Amino acid sequence: MSKIAVLGAGAWGCALALHAWRQGHAMTLWARTAPRAVLPAEVTIVGDPMAALAGADLAIVAVPAQHLRAVVAPWPGVALLLACKGFEAGSGLLPTEVAGRGAVLSGPNFAAEVAAGLPAAAVVAGADQALVEAVIAALGGPALRLYSSADVLGVQAGGAAKNVLAIAAGAAMGAGLGENARAALITRGLAELSRLVLALGGRPGTAAGLSGMGDLMLTASSPTSRNTALGERLGRGETLAQALAASRGVAEGVASAPALLARASTLGVEMPICEAVAAMLDGRASVRDAMGGLLARPFRAE
């Protein structure tokens, strides 16, 4: 691939544009507003998505999952890599289901560290093996180790669920419930994530891999995560509106939580931690009431 277009100039889009430029590709970045990141002069920034796509071999879509439908289009001749995570509100669809094609990039990656060239790893999942291999050849390198997967829905489910679970982990810390509570939520959250992956036809290894356990561990254990930080604010007693206003960017878990639960319900998957998060977000339960409800559940084998 010689020319790559990135659609979306948030932190993740800018980080991917910078990484692809370091890999030697001609780069065009579509931005609605001027990006906050400082990018090399060789990265062309345009305000029209079609201008960004002109002559591109690959389009990396790095907009929030809830905006994907409004952005993605057929774009004949351009391969598609989706770099967003979440279930679409209303439809409950995952990004490749919304787009109808393409591969997906997912893993335990903070944008700032990828932008800085620090070592990271991720998964490229797709039904088109040739596309997956082409993406890995184009973007894989010493600073970003990429693994291939054919488990398209499983990889996306992990990336979406971890955002919701991270809100729970952050809320526990914000409420002063301690590290033991956070560890328990992450561990039992992984069990919920695994059930969802399997119900979607995914592989157990996906849930235990980079896009499942890896992404959950990173997101739910660091205040750098927007979802964890939002959960901490809720745990300290802020309203959802206050927590959202203070967020540094989009906390995907907020919109994904009800959509995830609706999808899980159709599959017969029980996700009590995600249900508790949804109850906190829509005001049906306080953080302590939600956590108390989880602790009051009947004892069972692990």
Decide: helix, strand or coil at residue 149. strand
Q: What is the DSSP letter of 298?
A: P
Per DSSP (E only), the strands in 69-178 are 79-82, 103-106, 120-125, 144-149
Is residue 162 flagged as an active site residue? yes
Backbone angles phi, psi at 87, to 5 degrees: -95, 135
Tell me how far apart the terminal alpha carbons of the chain are, to the nearest angstrom. 47
Backbone angles phi, psi at 175, to 5 degrees: -85, 0
Place of tokens 């890896």: 214
Amino acid letter at 299? F
Concatenated DSSP letters for 240-289?
HHHHHHH-SS--HHHHHHHHHHHHHHHHT---HHHHHHHHHHTTSS-HHH
Q: How far apart are CA 218 and CA 238, in angstroms?
A: 24
What's the full length of the chain, in residues? 302
Is 264 within 8 Å of 271 (Cβ atoms)? yes
Integer Rg of the chain from CA: 19
Decide: helix, strand or coil at residue 77. coil
Annotated catalytic residue within 3, 162, 233, 263? 162
Active-site residues: which are they?
162
